[in-house]
């Protein structure tokens, strides 16, 4: 007999080669399907993995990070399977998340109608009810290229032909097979809660998640975010850079310089358009910039300031940090730590008074927050602005109405910025925007703050929770959204990030996350020519060499 320490259940004696699925069926015969996978030996493992030695195990349900990933990937695989059974000559693309829904569409501009969605959902329900086992198999590089060719997965062929990977995993669901990154549930019957929502020209696959209180009927539409994702996808298609294999080929052929120049020029064009919009509306006096961590807000604010000057304006910048309340008045989190990301950490009354005085043409002394003493002090910096001097305020709370409550909406221009990755690994494996931002942060924190990766991972967990409360609920308040992701950037970040991720100890709580990112980066070819990246690029905020004061 083998002893298994099962978190939440205690020690259990089992026969050798038993599976965790066998165990939880005995423990919870009516509810065993709520578990999707498990963590042991610092890896996410299938519940069908045979137990051969004593181990400590944590079961994963949909409320855990890894369990949620398994759930969404499994439903996505069933969606692809259903589409292929129903529409054999149409190819599905899994694109990006919009809140608790994953947007998907068919290639070649084929729209998905209401009737087609009903057929797909019906077929998905049939697949779920059939409770088909999901089996994975590792194929060598040569085998997986041949597999992709036979399946008509041209973008996957290009990917594996341009990587140094020895091979990859293929998942089988009955007679259906495909390449899906990461773990899937033991069988199709484990994922029963989902919904398909018409979202022209495609469809949203809605999952239960903390974003909708695990109720698929609580989906909140994000129209503006959807539009910016759509624009990014269209540009990627035009450039032939929808999938990673295409980028890798350009890197191999020495043509990546053009990709860098075009990507940077596109961002410059969009910044100038925003500056033009501000110039054209004489009522705009306050420009508010918000976005999640590592979206490039600081570099963007500098570049927007220059673009406004080109348009004959003279913008001034106010730092939200200088309006922090004194340390003793800072709200605290449940664990007792200071909550510097709460909007209550800002002296809203003083900020609004100063903004009103400035807009009315009065002189205002802007405070200076001393982070060493944890208090505000006199700065001696007196500011006075006229109608040709828009005030730029950059910070995470920019789109929260409470920040500038006393300022009329007609005088505000609200900008949301985030790194919304337009590149996908292939048609059925996307690149999460959160991973791009995390890699940016890992590199920047080490380069400019001396933080080792485990420190950044630790901070990141709190940052992400703060974003869900303080940023994402207000993103649709934006007048315009700016996508700071660059199609080429992960090829650049790779050489900085890999040595850092390799420092994470196997016993670290962040080991699995570091392994996931290392696996993800292994698909990218390196871009070594940093000299091709302009010194005003948003990417420079993270790798260094920026012409702006961004740290």
- Residue 364 pLDDT: 94
Categorize the per-residue pLDDT at 405 as very low, low, confident or very high, splitting at 50, 70 and 90.
very high
The residue ranking higher by pLDDT, 1 or 392, is 392
User: Is residue 435's pLDDT more than 90?
Assistant: yes
User: Is residue 88's pLDDT more than 90?
Assistant: no
> Distance between CA atoms of 144 and 169, rounded to whole angstroms?
8
Other Cβ atoms within 10 Å of 117 Cβ, number: 17
Whether the model clears a pTM of 0.85, i.e. scores above it, the answer is yes
293, 295, 298, 300: CA torsion to nearest 10: -160
For 482-520, write each residue's pLDDT tens digit.
999 999 999 999 999 999 999 999 999 999 999 999 999
Q: What is the CA radius of gyration of the chain?
A: 25
For 309-324, write each residue's pLDDT tens digit.
999 999 999 989 899 9
- Residue 524 pLDDT: 97
Other Cβ atoms within 10 Å of 167 Cβ, number: 14
Q: Which residues pair with 171 in a beta bridge?
A: 136, 178
480-483 sheet: strands from edge to edge: 316-319, 391-394, 286-290, 412-418, 480-483
Instruction: For residue 285, give the 3-state DSSP assignment.
Output: coil
Domains and CATH numbers, the chain: 2-61 (3.10.20.30), 66-221 (3.30.980.10), 236-315+390-543 (no CATH)
Q: Which residues contact 538 (CB under 8 A, 6 or more apart)?
A: 267, 296, 299, 300, 303, 484, 486
Contact 184, 136 (CB under 8 A): yes
For 411-422, write each residue's pLDDT tens digit.
999 999 999 988
Cα–Cα distances in angstroms (integers) from residue 307 to residues 267, 273, 538, in the given order: 12, 9, 15
Chain centroid to CA 208: how far? 18
User: Is residue 551's pLDDT more than 80?
Assistant: no
343, 349, 350, 356: CA torsion to nearest 10: 110
For 278-315, write each residue's pLDDT tens digit.
999 999 999 999 999 999 999 999 999 999 999 999 99
- Residue 487 pLDDT: 94
User: Is residue 233's pLDDT more than 90?
Assistant: no
Nearest to 237 by CA among 105, 423, 490: 423
Which tokens hold the place of 507?
């016993």
Q: Which residue has the tokens 């030996």?
A: 41
């Amino acid at each position: 007999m083998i002893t298994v320490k099962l978190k939440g259940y205690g020690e259990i004696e089992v026969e050798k080669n038993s599976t965790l699925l066998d165990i939880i069926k005995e423990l919870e015969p009516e509810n065993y399907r709520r578990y999707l996978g498990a963590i042991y030996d610092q890896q996410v493992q299938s519940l069908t993995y045979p137990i051969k030695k004593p181990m400590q195990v944590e079961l994963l349900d949909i409320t855990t990070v890894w369990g949620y990933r398994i759930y969404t990937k499994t439903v996505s695989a069933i969606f692809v399977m259903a589409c292929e059974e129903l529409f054999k000559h149409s190819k599905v693309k899994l694109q990006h998340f919009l809140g608790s829904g994953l947007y998907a569409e068919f290639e070649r501009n084929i729209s998905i109608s209401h009737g087609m969605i009903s057929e797909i959902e019906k077929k998905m329900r049939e697949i779920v009810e059939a409770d088909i086992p999901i089996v994975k198999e590792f194929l060598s590089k040569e085998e997986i290229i041949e597999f992709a060719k036979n399946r008509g997965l041209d973008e996957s062929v290009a990917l594996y032909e341009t990587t140094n990977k020895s091979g990859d995993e293929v998942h089988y669901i009955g007679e259906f097979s495909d390449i899906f990154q990461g773990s899937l549930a033991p069988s199709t019957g484990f994922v029963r809660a989902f919904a398909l929502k018409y979202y022209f020209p495609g469809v949203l696959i809605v999952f239960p998640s903390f974003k909708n209180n695990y109720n698929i009927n609580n989906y909140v539409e994000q129209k503006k975010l959807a539009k910016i994702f759509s624009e990014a996808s269209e540009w990627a298609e035009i450039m032939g850079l929808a999938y990673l294999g295409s980028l890798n080929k350009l890197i191999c052929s020495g043509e990546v310089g053009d990709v860098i120049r075009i990507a940077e020029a596109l961002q410059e064009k969009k910044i100038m358009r925003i500056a033009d919009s501000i110039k054209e509306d004489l009522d705009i006096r306050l420009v508010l910039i918000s976005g999640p961590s590592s979206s490039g807000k600081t570099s963007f604010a500098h570049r927007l300031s220059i673009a406004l000057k080109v348009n004959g304006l003279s913008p001034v910048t106010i730092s939200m940090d200088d309006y922090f309340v004194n340390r003793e008045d800072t709200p605290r989190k449940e664990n007792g730590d200071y909550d510097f990301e709460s909007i209550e950490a800002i002296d809203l009354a003083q900020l609004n008074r100063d903004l009103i005085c400035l807009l009315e043409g009065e002189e205002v002394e802007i405070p200076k927050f001393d982070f060493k003493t944890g208090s505000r002090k006199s700065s001696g910096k007196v500011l006075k602005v006229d109608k040709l001097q828009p005030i730029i305020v950059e910070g995470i709370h920019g789109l929260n109405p409470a920040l500038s409550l006393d300022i009329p909406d007609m005088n505000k221009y609200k900008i949301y910025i985030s790194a919304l990755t337009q590149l996908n690994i292939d048609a059925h494996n996307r690149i999460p925007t959160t991973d791009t931002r995390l890699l940016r942060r890992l590199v920047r924190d080490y380069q400019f703050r001396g933080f080792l990766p485990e420190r950044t991972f630790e901070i990141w967990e709190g940052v992400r929770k703060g974003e869900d409360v303080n940023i994402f609920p207000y993103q649709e308040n934006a007048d315009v959204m700016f996508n700071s992701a660059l199609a080429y950037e992960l090829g650049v970040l790779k050489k900085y990030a890999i040595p850092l991720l390799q420092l994470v100890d196997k016993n670290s709580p962040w080991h699995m996350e570091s392994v996931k990112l290392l696996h993800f980066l292994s698909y990218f070819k390196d871009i070594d020519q940093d000299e091709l990246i302009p010194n005003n690029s948003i990417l420079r905020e993270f790798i260094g060499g920026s012409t702006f004061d961004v740290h």
